[in-house]
Amino acid sequence: MTIDLNPRWYVAHTQPHAEAKAVAHLARQGFATYFPRYLKRRRHARRVETVAAPLFPRYLFVAVDLSAQRWRSIYSTVGVSRLVCNGDEPSPVPEGVVAALRSREDGNGFIKLQARPAFRPGERIRVLDGAFASCLGLFEGMAERERIAILLDLLGRKVRVVLDADLVAAA
């Protein structure tokens, strides 16, 4: 007798930095998982490196057929904190979400994020993080790869500052 599984995707909340551990232990129990990651640029000690980072830190997708699988065992899985629920029942992910994420993967299985919007010279932008957080400035231009030059109004005059492109947003 074979059981036809009709799994739906659910979201598991993991322990801090334990997504990979949770994926391994859920697979050992027979659950299919999806852990979307992307390549992130990280600066540390004057070095820039590209590392794999979770698209949704502390969350991963688990395919479960609630009527045929023992899904409550997920709660005691190493690395998993809980399933995202609505009351006592796990909340299913809307149809197509996981497929849409998978369609954006490159050949190595990493999600390709959309390019950041281009700013025009003179456009107002806000600094999101760092020493100049929440300061407003004017976009001057691209300084070098992934870094931009902005003009900040500091102490009554315009000062040129070069920042990582991911530290600014449109004002």
How many angstroms separate the CA atoms of 59 and 52, rounded? 15
- Average pLDDT score over residue span 157-163: 84
124-170 has which CATH code?
A: 2.30.30.30
Cα 54 to Cα 38: distance, rounded to the nearest angstrom: 6
pLDDT band at 2 (very low <50, low <70, confident <90, very high): very low
pLDDT digits (tens, 9 = 90+) for 19-75: 999 999 999 999 999 999 988 877 777 777 888 989 899 999 999 998 888 999 999
Q: Where along the chain do its domains lie? A: 8-103, 124-170
Class of domain 8-103: alpha beta
Q: How far apart (Å, rounded) are the C-alpha atoms in residues 32 and 71? A: 12
